[in-house]
Structure formats: structure tokens, C-alpha cells
Amino acid sequence: MPKSEILRKKLEGNSIIKVGGAFDVMSAKLVENSGFDAIWSGSFAISATHALPDASILTMTDFLNTSSNIVDSCKIPVIADCDTGFGGPSNVAHTVKKFESAGVAAICIEDKIFPKQNSLLKNGKHSLVSEKEFVAKILAAKDSKTNKNFMIIARTEALIAELGINEAIKRANAYESAGADAILIHSKKNTPDEIFEFSDRWNGNIPLVVVPTTYPTVELSELIQNHIKMVIFANQTLRVAYSAMNNLLKEINNSERISDVTQQMSSMEEIFDLQKMYEIKDQEKTIEEDLKKMGYIDE
Ligand code: SPV
Ligand code: MG
């Protein structure tokens, strides 16, 4: 079954969908192997791997390359964070074409002004485009897609911009009417209260998606009770990778021998497994047998 169909079926099902954040193929494989439903290829984490700000600095092609590599190596659906859609409606249309043909299951676009800054940046620039301008982007996205299961997740930053619940509801309604397949409602508060007030007051029919980075004590059961259909753990993999590497490097640099840090690392075997090293060995054997049969190698 195509990955876009897998994701759509899951969204129509009863369980909450758990999405793990990834920033490259290795982290995406770990998300998949840990049993998550889908992979989030997020702008914050991918920008961080280039040591660049999450501020529309990397290009559409940079994000596409990462998502496309992940799609090629993973079986579960990939949801690509496409920021503001990299420009106006024509840029969104082009983005949809490229991500859809790369095998991505869904893209997420947000109603911030380009260039955007990360939603959780203190004193960040969080201005929004008008509702009409963002509706035009959703219309362009819908018009450009060819696979009916490919999804457009519309993300409103109304709460990030501190415009209040009424504005968030108004925009979410407009985005649903324009044909969005789901609404991502984002918050930078350290409790889920405004998210739950939003979900309580919203009467739409499409699923709600959240990213609980700043309210991490929220429990899965509370999200379910409050009609949240998808939860994205956007950046925890990036942050743990950063801290694990940083701690290890400090220790190695202060140590006489690397055996001091062996316990903290994966084994070589685990990495061979990830990179399918033994498939190459099997392939070599098959080729050798064929070469023997063909008389190139003596039996
Ligand atoms: C990302 O992971 O890139 C996101 C979520 O868009 S946030 O960093 O909270 O903006
Ligand atoms: Mg992002």
C-alpha cells in the first residue's frame, strides 16, 4: 500500500498517530524501528544539522533532499515540514509536485510570513500572512497534487503570534474550507491549556495535530480525550543526538583511552545492521557463485 494511503487510513482510524522527528536517514530509521506511525522531517532539526538557523535559510531543495533520502530507506510514511511553502502559491504548487513525486505522504505548511523564524524562538518574528493569502496557498497545493491520498496539513501559528483562540479558530475553519486535510495547531505555552481550549471550541471535521515540545508533561491520554489525532515529537531525536555526542567528545578529549566511553556507544554490529552491511556480503557470495558457473573462477 502506498505510504500516503497508509497515513490516510491511520488518520481515519481510532488511535492517536505518533510521529517521531528525524533529521537524516539514520534518525528516521531509528524512529521507524522504534514503532512510530510516521516520520516528521522537520525544518528545525534539519537546519540544525547544517548549524544554520531555522529561519527559511535552507532552500526547498535542501529539505526535499533530506525527505527524499528518508523516503527511500523507510517503510513508514514521511510528513515533510515545508515551512511557509517557500514563497507564494506558485512556490507551494511546485513544492507539492516535488514532495509528492519524491514519495512523501504529507506536507505541512504554516501561515507565517516568509522568511519565517522558529515558533519557539523567544522574541522571534512571528507575523502571519492574511487568511486570504494562506487560503490561496492551500488552494494552490490542492490543485497541484495528483495523488488523492497525498495530504496537506495546514498549520496555524495564530497562538504563536498571540492573536488569540478566536483568530486560531477562524483560520482553522477557513483552511478546512479551502481543502486542508488536517490542522496543526501550535502553541509555545508550557501547559496544553490553550490547545485544549482550541480543540474544545473547534467544530471542524478534519483531524487536529499538535507538537507538545513546550508542554512536555501532557499525557497521551489527555491528548486523546481532547480529540487530538496526531502528536509530533518534533525535535527530541536531534536534541539527544546533540547532547550524547557533545558529552562523549568532552570525555574522549579528557581521557587517556577510548575504552572509557565504550559503554556509551552503540556497537559496530548495530551500525552494520543499520547500513545493511551483511547484504553486501551476501551479494558478493551470489556474484562469486555466478562467476564460477560462468567459468571465470575455478571451482
Ligand atoms: C519543526 O520541528 O521544525 C517545527 C516544530 O516546525 S517547531 O520547532 O516547534 O516550530
Ligand atoms: Mg519547522
SS3 label, residue 159:
coil
What is the pLDDT at residue 44? Answer: 98
Q: Using 50, 70 and 90 to split pLDDT, how confident is the model at 107?
A: very high
Three-class DSSP labels, 30-56: HHHHCCCCEEEECHHHHHHHCCCCCCC
Report the mean per-residue pLDDT for the chain: 97
Q: Ligand 1: list residues with CB < 6 Å.
A: 42-45, 54, 81, 118-120, 211, 213, 234-235
Ligand 1 atom at minimal distance to the Cα of residue 110: 6
Query: Ligand 2 centroid vs 109 CA: distance in angstroms?
Result: 9
Report the C-alpha gap between 284 and 274 in whole angstroms: 19
Report the C-alpha gap between 158 and 127 in whole angstroms: 9
Does the model's pTM come out above 0.95?
Answer: yes
Q: Give me the mean pLDDT over the 10-29 stretch.
A: 97
Q: Using 50, 70 and 90 to split pLDDT, how confident is the model at 14?
A: very high
In the block, cell 502553541 appears at 187
Q: What is the pLDDT of residues 152-203, one digit of tens each?
A: 999 999 999 999 999 999 999 999 999 999 999 999 999 999 999 999 999 9
Query: Ligand 2 centroid vs 253 CA: distance in angstroms?
Result: 34
What is the pLDDT at residue 298? Answer: 87
Q: Using 50, 70 and 90 to split pLDDT, how confident is the model at 263?
A: confident
Report the C-alpha gap between 128 and 121 in whole angstroms: 15
Residue 280: count of CB within 10 angstroms of its CB = 11
Known catalytic residues? 54
